[in-house]
Each structure stands twice: as structure tokens, then as C-alpha cells.
Structure 1
Amino acid sequence: MSIEWVNGAIEEIRAWGRSKDVAVDVDEVRLLCDYASDYLDVGELSDFTPGTFEQLLLDIYPRKVIAPPESAAETVAAARTLVDFLLDSGEIGAKMATRMRSKIDDIAPEMPGALADTSKFGMAKSIFGAMGADADAPGPVTDHQGRRLRGVTADDECGCPGCSPLPPVRPAAPQAIARAVRGSGLLRDAHALLAWMLEGGRTPTVRGTLRVRDAARVTRELGLAAPALAWELVVAVELAEVSGASVRAPGLVPLDARGDEEVLDLWAGTVTFLTGGPAAEVTGWPKLDRELYTVHESLYRLRGPMAVQALREHLDGAPPDDDGGPEDGLELDLDGDDGGEDPGRLDAALAALARCGTVERRGDTVRLTAQGLWGMREMFSRMGLPAPVAPGLADGGAAELIAGLLEGMPAEQAEPDIASWLERRTQAEAASDLLSAVRGEPAVARGVAVTIVDRFGAEAAGAVRPFLDDPELRPHVVHWLAGRGLEAPALSPGEVLWASVDMLALAVPAAGTDPGEFAETLAGAGPPAHVIEEMWQVDHPDVAEVLDLLGRHLPDRDLAKAARKAAFKARSRGIH
């Protein structure tokens, strides 16, 4: 990031600070100069203007720099120091200095809010923020000892595991991964294509590539969507001996007949092939093909879904398709805007990538498949990078189980964890532990616990009934008891209304992940008008957010308007 003029300027500022006995925050000043150079075409100190500081502190920093809102005071102080230096060194005149200081004074009260505004975050900053999602706001980047790395931002390409370690993940069992790989994906297509070539005595071209007429025939006869890519994989993972126009694979073993260990080894090679820049097209969109490693690594670090819109914005800022892109495919302006792409192009490209088997799309999000996650971890391990495995949820207590489930793992992976955890406890013990763990916790955690307890029969009633004394759990406990024909107190109208808000609060994260599906659910089972109009009176911490959600997604315009009005009333009485 730093270039010659920045290095020279920093040395001058150091010397100036020593001569004037002024404390200079060199790291902050360097970051100002670096970003001014990279994004605002500032080529020397005299190029700074009042507008430069406004763009840096209210636009560039919020998008790029990982720092809490309270750090704004340090950055503003560094900007003022830089203005003092520019004036003393003769780079600017007194009038310009006055204008700069006035502009910085205007910026100072706005910058903390800009740093906290998640809508301003660029893709890279959002990813790093999600990796630390337990914090209320994205925190500073730290080294492995927890010390803040001044000047380190979401854009920096530090590959040091101590600075940016891979997060612990929960890969599925190897047997399940092997079964998924055998079932579909590019590796299966490669086996089918190779068998078809051998059975028909067909050969590749003299350069070893698949003949065009064979690609057309195999698409027609086997239904393969990307035969050229499948052949590239045959060569890459050495399923056959290919030399020029000859191909040999004596005793080719079908994928279904291979052992798990062999299938997993081939799959690891497939993931490396897909993310390492193969010669053939993967998705049909060069811009995305150049960034497949970045996209897969980001999804791995997120350990959950990424909004398709975030990926779209990222690709909109990537170099144009015809410029060849950066040499390593990583140095990208994550937040640029060259616009103009066909919005359906990304949809088609993601569908093609999903057919390869490493990612899957769910509504408006994309995430790694179980085999994609496993393959990425295996690739990292083979690269020599520490790729830790998170402990099994069944080994922890109820709080650890709930926290793990809230990380957004696929249902097919979550269910074995829940079953294993329950096997070690009686229903009564499990119910007591789960409900105790969510006392005073947010609605989403409470919802996970209640959903699991709902599996239990009446024999767990002795452990569930004591939670009638908890005002947040009481409506759920009453519902649980009544559903099993057991004696249960009646809920007051206020408690019924509170329970309605609490159940809707469970859907807030899902609505953000797949708003279309949430809107469809509301269309069939949304709350009636009289309930919406009364919700604002409920003393529930999520009531305003729930009403906002209804206001955005209810298909009935009158009901949506009523929800927005109720949200305003809730906020007016101080409920957030």
C-alpha cells in the first residue's frame, strides 16, 4: 500500500514532530496518506484538500478500516496533526489550513456514527466483522497475542496465521462427505465422461483437450453441463494417463466403487482445482472465475452464508473482464463501482458453481456445502496452514450447544449434534439444562432451546413446569404443557401478545437471510390487524425490530402500514 512519496512524507513528519516536540501518531497519519494515495489520487502532500479529509474520514474509513466508533477521536486528532505539519512545512497556506481545520471540526462528531454504520461496510470489512460477530461492532484487527495492529485493515493481504488465523470449523463426518461427493458434482461428471470416452474409443485433441464434437455429444447423451471442465479435472487429478491425443485408464474404478479414503483424496484435488484457477471456465464468467479462491476462502471464514448482493457488489468493483485482472486474482478494489453487469449473470454463474459441488445457494445467500467446507479445510492443511476443528457440540453443555447451533450450520449437520447431545441426558435433564441456559438470553437463543424441548414427552413435565416462574419462558412453557394435555395456567392477553412478538423475533435472522421465503410465510400465517396494532404496547426488547420486519415484508399494504406505525409508537415509548 505504501509508496515512495508516502514513506518520504512520514519521515518528514517524524522529524517535524521531534523538532516541534509534537506527539505524532505516525501509524494513523500513514494510513491517511496511504488511503489518500490509493483511492483519491493524492500523489504528494500538497494534493490534500478539505474534501480529501471528508472523503477519507466519512467514506473510505467506514468502508475499509476495521476499528470501533470510539477510535474516531484518534483518527481525527491525526488529521489535525497532519494539517499542522502541512502548514508549517509550506505545503499549504494559512487560508487552506483554516478551511481544512473547519472541515475536520465538522467531520469529528459524524465519524463515530459512520464507523458504526454497517451499511457503509465494504465486503472485506463485512467478512472480518462477521468473523467477530460476538461483538456489537467490528473491532480492531489484532495479532495472535491480542494486541491491536495499527494500520492493519480489512484490505491488507497478510497471510500470516498469527495475524489472520483460520477460524475453527465443524466439518461433517468423512463418510458423509464421501457419500455427498459420490452423489453429484464435478468429480462424478469427470468419472462419467472418462468412462464414456474409453467405452467409445474416443481420444482428446493433440493438445490433450476435449474435442468440440465430443463435448457436444456427451452433453446430449449424458446431460453433463460442463464437459470441457470435467475433462480438465480428469487431467488435473490424474484419473487417466493423458498424453497428447492418447488416453489410458486401465482398470478405471467407478466413483461409486471407490473407498471413502480414495474418494476424499480425489475430492480434495477437485477443490484445489476449482479454486486454483484452472484453464477451463468454471462459471462462465471470467470475473468470478478469477476470484474463486477469494470467494471460497471468505465463505470458509464466515462459517455461514454470504448475501448474494454483497458478492455482486464485490464483483462490480473487480477489474473488467477484458483487462486480464490482477496477476494473483487477489488485489481487488472490493468497493469500486464500474456497474453495468447483467444482474442475471451472477445468478447463472453461481448455479454453474453449485453444480460443481463446493457451494450452494439458498434464497438470497450463498454458502459452502458440507463437502466444500471439508475440501477447503483439507486444502489449507496441505498448504501448511493451521486449520483448527471446532469441538463437537455434544461434548459441551446446553449453552455451548445453543451457541453452536446459532452459528448457522446446515440442518443436516445440526441434527446429528442435537441427537448426540440428547443421548447423553434424560429428557428431564436436557429440558432443565436447555431452559436454564436461555434465561435472560435473546429470543433466537430461547427459540432454539424451546424447539428442542418441544421434542420431549410428558415425562419431562417436572423439569419444564418450574420455568413458569420465568416471565420470558412462561408463555412457551404454558404452550408446551397444554400441547401434551397437562394442567397449565391460562395466559393473560398481554402474555399472548408477548409470545406473538417473541415467536416473530425468532424469524428476524432468517428474514435477513431469505426475505422472499419469509414474506411467503407471512402471507400464509401473518398476524391479524388487531394483533399488529396492539404489539407496540408489549415490553419486549425486539418489538420495534419485529414491527419493522412486518412493515417491510407483509404483502398486505394496509397491514404493512399498520406495522410501521406501531413500530414508531414502540420507539416513541422507548422500547428498542
Structure 2
Amino acid sequence: MRAWGREKGVEVDVDEVRLLCDYASDYLEVNELGDFRPATFEELLLEIYPRKVIAPPESAPETVAAARTLVEFLLDSGEIGIKTAARMRVTIDDIEPEMPRALADTTKFGMAKSLFSAIGPDSLDLAAAAEPAARDTGAGCDCPGCAPLPPVHLPPQEQVARGVREVPLLRDAHRLVVWMAGGGRTTTVRRSLRVKDARAVAGELGVQSPETVWRLALQLGLARVVGTAVVPDAAFRPLEERPDGELLDLWAATVEFLIEEQASLTGEEVLDQGMPAVHDLLYRLQSPVPMDALADYLREYMADRSLGRLDEALGRLAYAGTVQWGDDGLCLTPHGVWGLRELYAGMGMDAPLAPDLAEGDASGLIAGLITDALPPEAADRSVLEWLSRRTPEQAASELLGAVVGAPAEVRGIAVTIVDRLGHEAAVVVRSYLDDAELRPHAIHWLSARGLDAPPLTPEELLWVSVDMLALALPAAEADPEGFAENIAASGPPPHLIEDMWRVEHPDVVEVLELLGNTLSDRAAAKAARKAAFKARSRGIR
């Protein structure tokens, strides 16, 4: 279409046309361009768009214009005839004045669109990341349709596909189709599972929420119901045998089903009905949400509804594959992030990608690792990719050169990455023995590899101890209890702490105060508080 537009001198809104084609394919059985009919546009623009796409009424002319462009393309490419194109133009002319009203009619909204539109930034105040600024629309709107989504880092598609192959919900959907078709079982006239079959599949296969799993299998096209007989789709294959691209399409449709259809997976009504809200919260925060905070959020969101055993319900939600529960709380799985972004994009929302840290220089890599709050596996992947594009000497030179005179946190990130490098980087590391702040780290790096290095003086040992603790200050502020546990197991001894006040380090007072407030060893904590007092006094003098 882009080439056609250039040839014809026509401006083509490719993104809007793609949405038209995606929804026509997903909901109106338009599998080829020639399948478009005049009625297709009527359903698309007056039924599907108002139900699915978060878009203000004033955006209707853009979508109508894209539909007209699509008609001209279909005609010029021979997909439709002149008479069909004429009928399509008349239909779109009739639709044009109606579409803004349809987009504004809340009774037409689908469940996901209604819930997403109801979640304002005030509902997402568990962290600053959940309070995105509204777009400058001039209307003062604060719904997510006007509040930008945060940029996200996506895992490689092969990792997404690998995760999808292990999703229990999808595996059970495939098993259920085989069980139904292989046993010659039939559905009710409404294509639902019979009560006895639902009970049997739960008992024999251990499938959670059999009716919901069966609805998903039909939604994904894994099976067809002919009359009441169950027939596997002609392309039905186990997850292990499906190529990655096919799996991604399957997963995108699964996430849409979970959010849009309000799948009753967990048995906890508040969580089932709040599924769009919970997923949106996790996507915006990009960090785990503790159980108590999530419970408070759901109580506020679903006012006047009782909240039962949330921990059990969350375990069942993890069965769907979009979320995972860890020590720090609930967060999206990598394939959950991927699938939710696909859903947002399909709804017409701007779902930006964060810059690839491996594409930038050393300063960009370090800044991204500090500010982007990446999951550990994503951060590690970015670092490895960045290193793979450089020789060890180049990597060491860029990293250490970028942090000369930098704060401890920035310097610590660089030193940690350089620690991954082998002997090839020795010449570069040795060249920083003349830098007062990097010298102790360079000595440690060389000594750890059995290379010639000057010994650390007592003053340098104290300085590097303070410097490494200063690196941990942001993490300690974010998770005081976790830091206290770690420092109790591997913190400096009292005799070392007592002398830290002498160190010429800009963060020494803050480090000593942190130790004084977190060390479980009373003697060590007292030594830290005493040393902090001396350091402050020295600064006053």
C-alpha cells in the first residue's frame, strides 16, 4: 500500500489500515483482501471499533479516510470490482456522520475498553511510574486512552515463544480438544461443555475452569463444532510443533480473550472482573506489586465487593501465563508483557518500546540500567548484548572512561560490568591505576585474576568498602529489609566501620548512617553511628 500510495500520490495511513484489516480478519471472517464487502465496513466502523478501540470521537474522520483509501486500493489492485467499490463508497458515506456518535456511546464499549477507560492515573498511585502525565489534548482528560503508556523492554521473540509453549492454560486447551474429539463427545446446542464432561475433564485431566478453557479453545480456532460434534481444526498441532510466529499469534489472541472476555479463571470475582485493571497496573508499574498493595488496589477499584482468598486466586491467575508470583509480589511474565502490548496496540493505543540499551554507548547503557528498573534477566541480556559488540579492551575503555569522576552508583555499575571481562582487558584496566577513585577497583580486578598489581593500602581498602556500600544505597532505600538481611550476612566488621569516618568519600556519612540503622549486630551498628557522627563533625570543621 505504501508503494501504491507513492505511485498514485495518495497519503496512506498504514497503521489505521492495518487495524481495519486486523479486526476484519479477527472478527468478520475476512481472510483475504477480496473478502471485504460493503457490510464489512459497516460492522467494522460502527460495531467493532466502538467496542474495541480506545479513540476519541474526533478521531473518526481519520479512520473513515483510511477506509476510503483501502477501498481505492482494493479496486486498483483488482481485489474488488467497480460496482462493489461504488457500494462500499456509499456505505462509508453513510457511516461517516454516525461513527463519532458510536465512538462516544459507552453502551457500545466492550468490557476491556470500559475498564481501561475507567482506570484513571489516580487509581495507579502505588508508585510514581503509575502516574503518567496526560497528553496535551486541551481537554484535560485523564483516562488511560489519553495517558501515555510507559515504554517497555520486550524479550526476544524466541523467548516469548518458549514461554508460551509452557503456559498451562494453552496446554490444557489443546488437551481438552483432543479429549473431546477423541472420545466422540458432543457439546450442548450452544456449544458449551456438557456438565458431565466438564466434571470428567476436571477430574481426569486436572483442567482448571473447564468451561473457560473450552471457550478459549473455540476462540483460538483449535476446534470447530459441527452441529454438536467436536472436530479439531485442520491445522491443529501441539504447541511443541508450532513455529514461533504461529505461537505468537495464538498468544496474542489468548491475552485478548483473558482481558476482553473476563475469563472466570480464578474463582475470585473481584480479581476475575478486575483482570484488565490488574494487568494494566502491572504493565504501567513495570515492577512487582506486593500482596497487601494489590489487595488495597482491588478493594478500591471494585468498591462494595468482598475480597476473598487473594493468594489462592493469584495462584490460579498464574495458570493463565500472563503473571507470575515472586518474593517481591505479582508481576507480568515476559510473554505477558509482550501479549499485553499487542493488545494495547490493537486497541489503537500508543504502546512505545524502550530504547535498546545494547545500541547505545557506555553512558547510555549505565543510565538505562539505573533508571529503567529492568528485571534481572532483561538487564543481564542487555549487558551481554552490549559486550558482544565490542572487544574486551574496547568495552573496558568505554565503561571506565564514562565513569571517571562519576557518582558511586554510576561507577559501581561500570565496575560490575568490567568484572565480567577476561585477561584481554588488563592493559586498559591497569591504565586506571592513576585515577584515585578507580584505582582500588582496578587493583581488585587485577588481583582477582592473578595479575601483577600493587597491594591495597589500608586507606584504599576503607575507601573501596565505602564506595561499594554507596553503590547499594538506592537498593537499600527501595528495600530496607532486604538490604538489612544482606548486610547482616556480609557486612563489614566493627573494627573496619570504626575507621570509615576518615575516608574522603562524598557518600561516607550516608553510608555510615545506613549501617547504623540497618545492622543487626549491636556493636557494629553502634560503631557505625559513632563513625557517622565523627564524619559529620569533620565536615562541619
Describe the superposition over 1:440-491 as per-residue Cα deviations: whole angstroms up to 9, x where unpaired: 4343332321122112222212211232333332221110011122232333
In the aligned structure 1, how far is the partner of 2:354 from the partner of 2:126? 22
The residue that corresponds to 2:124 in the other structure is: 124
In the aligned structure 2, how far is the partner of 1:216 from the partner of 1:443? 61
Query: How far has the Cα of 1:434 moved from its partner?
Result: 0.7
In the aligned structure 1, how far is the partner of 2:254 from the partner of 2:361? 37
The residue that corresponds to 1:378 in the other structure is: 342
Alignment of 1:309-328 (within 5 A): 309-320=292-303, 322=305
Change (3 A) 1:277 1:566: farther
Which residue identity is paired with 2:268?
W
Query: How far has the Cα of 1:178 moved from its partner?
Result: 1.0
In the aligned structure 1, how far is the partner of 2:292 from the partner of 2:437? 36
The residue that corresponds to 1:273 in the other structure is: 257
Which residue identity is paired with 1:278?
Q
In the aligned structure 2, how far is the partner of 1:214 from the partner of 1:551? 63
- Aligned residues of 1:131 and 1:302 also touching (Cα < 8 A): yes
- Partner SS for 2:390: coil
In the aligned structure 1, how far is the partner of 2:272 from the partner of 2:537? 50
1:193 aligns with 2:176: yes
- Aligned residues of 1:363 and 1:516 also touching (Cα < 8 A): no
Change (3 A) 1:125 1:399: same
TM-score, normalised by the number of residues in structure 1: 0.63
Query: How far has the Cα of 1:267 moved from its partner?
Result: 0.4
Change (3 A) 1:194 1:526: farther
Q: 1:157 aligns with which of 131, 143, 156?
A: 143
Query: How far has the Cα of 1:374 moved from its partner?
Result: 0.8
Alignment of 1:197-208 (within 5 A): 197-205=180-188, 207-208=190-191
Change (3 A) 1:362 1:536: farther
- Aligned residues of 1:277 and 1:290 also touching (Cα < 8 A): no
Query: How far has the Cα of 1:378 moved from its partner?
Result: 1.0
Query: How far has the Cα of 1:202 moved from its partner?
Result: 3.5
Stretch moving more, 481-490 or 212-221: 212-221
- Aligned residues of 1:287 and 1:320 also touching (Cα < 8 A): no
Which residue identity is paired with 2:313?
A
Give unpaired runs (5+ residues) of structure 1. 1-120, 133-139, 324-340
RMSD: 3.5
The residue that corresponds to 2:444 in the other structure is: 479
Query: How far has the Cα of 1:376 moved from its partner?
Result: 1.3
Query: How far has the Cα of 1:321 moved from its partner?
Result: 5.7
Change (3 A) 1:271 1:528: same
The residue that corresponds to 2:314 in the other structure is: 350
In the aligned structure 2, how far is the partner of 1:349 from the partner of 1:508? 35
In the aligned structure 1, how far is the partner of 2:267 from the partner of 2:435? 56
The residue that corresponds to 1:402 in the other structure is: 366
Alignment of 1:18-29 (within 5 A): none
In the aligned structure 2, how far is the partner of 1:233 from the partner of 1:507? 46
- Aligned residues of 2:202 and 2:210 also touching (Cα < 8 A): yes
Query: How far has the Cα of 1:151 moved from its partner?
Result: 6.9
Change (3 A) 1:460 1:191: same
1:259 aligns with 2:218: no
Alignment of 1:100-499 (within 5 A): 124-127=124-127, 129-130=128-129, 141=133, 143=135, 156-157=142-143, 159-160=145-146, 164-205=147-188, 207-211=190-194, 213-242=196-225, 246-251=229-234, 252-280=236-264, 282-320=265-303, 322=305, 345-406=309-370, 407-499=372-464
- Partner SS for 2:301: coil
- Partner SS for 1:373: helix
In the aligned structure 2, how far is the partner of 1:559 from the partner of 1:293? 48
- Aligned residues of 2:257 and 2:263 also touching (Cα < 8 A): no
- Aligned residues of 1:207 and 1:244 also touching (Cα < 8 A): no
Change (3 A) 1:276 1:455: same
- Aligned residues of 1:181 and 1:188 also touching (Cα < 8 A): no
- Aligned residues of 1:177 and 1:371 also touching (Cα < 8 A): yes
In the aligned structure 1, how far is the partner of 2:199 from the partner of 2:215? 16
Which residue identity is paired with 2:366?
I
Which residue identity is paired with 2:221?
E
Stretch moving more, 363-372 or 223-232: 223-232
Which residue identity is paired with 1:362?
G
- Aligned residues of 1:287 and 1:318 also touching (Cα < 8 A): no
- Aligned residues of 1:482 and 1:488 also touching (Cα < 8 A): yes
The residue that corresponds to 1:527 in the other structure is: 492
- Aligned residues of 2:135 and 2:148 also touching (Cα < 8 A): no
The residue that corresponds to 1:332 in the other structure is: none
- Aligned residues of 1:364 and 1:514 also touching (Cα < 8 A): no
In the aligned structure 1, how far is the partner of 2:532 from the partner of 2:213? 53
- Aligned residues of 2:518 and 2:525 also touching (Cα < 8 A): yes
Which residue identity is paired with 1:361?
W
- Aligned residues of 2:224 and 2:233 also touching (Cα < 8 A): no
Which residue identity is paired with 1:124?
L
Query: How far has the Cα of 1:226 moved from its partner?
Result: 4.4
- Aligned residues of 1:364 and 1:513 also touching (Cα < 8 A): no
Identity %: 53
Query: How far has the Cα of 1:191 moved from its partner?
Result: 1.6
Which residue identity is paired with 1:235?
L
Query: How far has the Cα of 1:278 moved from its partner?
Result: 1.7
In the aligned structure 2, how far is the partner of 1:508 from the partner of 1:227? 49
Stretch moving more, 238-247 or 436-445: 238-247
Describe the superposition over 1:51-72 as per-residue Cα deviations: whole angstroms up to 9, x where unpaired: xxxxxxxxxxxxxxxxxxxxxx
- Aligned residues of 1:494 and 1:538 also touching (Cα < 8 A): yes
Change (3 A) 1:355 1:435: farther
Query: How far has the Cα of 1:177 moved from its partner?
Result: 0.9
- Partner SS for 1:317: helix
Query: How far has the Cα of 1:562 moved from its partner?
Result: 5.2
Which residue identity is paired with 2:160?
I
Stretch moving more, 235-244 or 424-433: 235-244
The residue that corresponds to 1:22 in the other structure is: none
